[in-house]
Amino acid sequence: MASSPFLILLFILIVLVRDAIPAIRYQGSSFFTGVTWNMGNMYANNPIVHNGVQAAPGASFGILPFIMGTLGSSLIALLIGVPFALMTAFALVYKVPKPIQRVLSPMVELLAGIPSVVYGLWGVESLSPFIEFKLGPLLTRLGHAVPFLAGPVGTGFGLLTSGLVLAVMIIPIITATTRDLLMQVPTLSLEGAHALGLTSFESVRFVAYPWVKRGIFGAIVLGLGRALGETMAVLMVSGDAANYLPYNLYSPISTMASTIAALLDSALTDFTGMSVHALAFIALTLLVITVITNLIARLLVSMGRQNVHVEM
């Protein structure tokens, strides 16, 4: 039973590798560098054969736009979510009175438990119109200085909206982890800093932060792992675009996770099965990235806690 998480992960990995091998043989390295995703004529009776595997006529599988959409939206989420999450964690631990802290802290876990489809619906109903009519036109005025901010804004569904939704979703994860780390900082060290005349900001900067900085980085990586693997919320607000790279901050995109969810139903009608193999290849790529990201985060958080105990 103790080994079941590892065995389940290993089983999933084996299944994905098995299913992805035909796509690897068919597409090769251009799977990662190609821009065109086309499942081909799935109703034709004359499949083409390449490297010993069959595919529908005209089939081509390039996921570079999906990779760029995944990385771009995750980067925006980190740039926006990390400062808010860290400021919230520091405020909860060092500024908010204890009675209020006992009320607000569970709210952080509550936000982390909200289903992603709820965040997606919020993005559709509130965030995308706000970006289309308010924020987008405001940011485009800076387009002469930052070309990536230039228009057109479009419908409000795209890279910026996806990044903002993901930012809201990763804030609870980073906040909760950082809060737990900060609560392990010795009170005597902070009191000693105050006795020496340090301000609250200086005490946090020179006493609390050095104790937990490695763990904070791990918390950020945990948030990144959530952003990379998010599916439904991004699918609802990304614009579900394929076959071209985002050219500005408002471009519609697709991510690797949302692509799998959006195309699986159509892929199952491919009589050669190659479309499903290609989606399995995407899933394998995403799984490897997510597992590595989370392992690094767990390691860093664990090392941060060990350093706190040793120095105490």
pLDDT digits (tens, 9 = 90+) for 199-215: 888 888 888 888 888 88
Average pLDDT for the chain: 88
Q: Are 81 and 171 in contact (CB under 8 A)?
A: yes
- Nearest Cα neighbor of 291 from 225, 214, 218 is 225
* Mean pLDDT, residues 148-175: 91
In a domain, 144, yes or no: yes
pLDDT for 15: 94
pLDDT for 307: 56
In a domain, 153, yes or no: yes
The alpha carbons of the chain give a radius of gyration, in whole angstroms, of 23
Per-residue tokens: 102: 């006992």
Q: How far apart (Å, rounded) are the C-alpha atoms in residues 217 and 223?
A: 10
In a domain, 16, yes or no: no
* Mean pLDDT, residues 245-263: 91
Per-residue tokens: 1: 């039973």
Q: How far apart (Å, rounded) are the C-alpha atoms in residues 210 and 304?
A: 10
Only one residue has tokens 């763990």, namely: 215
Residue 121 CB coordination number (10 Å): 15
Residue range(s) defining the domain that contains residue 160? 84-240
Residue 204, domain CATH: 1.10.3720.10
282-312 pLDDT per residue, tens: 999 999 888 887 777 777 666 655 554 554 4
Q: How many domains does the chain have?
A: 1
Q: How far apart (Å, rounded) are the C-alpha atoms in residues 93 and 88?
A: 9
In a domain, 99, yes or no: yes
Q: How far apart (Å, rounded) are the C-alpha atoms in residues 18 and 190?
A: 55
Residues 6 or more apart from 122 whose CB is under 8 A from it? 165
Taking CA atoms, 21 is separated from 28, 66, 153, 169, in Å, by: 10, 20, 40, 34
In a domain, 102, yes or no: yes
Instruction: For residue 66, name the pLDDT band (cuts at 50, 70, 90).
Output: very high
Whether the bond between 152 and the residue before it is cis, its omega within 30 degrees of 0, is yes
Which secondary-structure segment (H or E) carries 32? helix 30-33
Q: Residue 97: helix, strand or coil by DSSP?
A: coil
In a domain, 74, yes or no: no
In a domain, 192, yes or no: yes
What pTM did the predictor assign? 0.88
- Nearest Cα neighbor of 256 from 27, 35, 64 is 64
**DSSP characters over 279-295:** HHHHHHHHHHHHHHHHH
In a domain, 54, yes or no: no
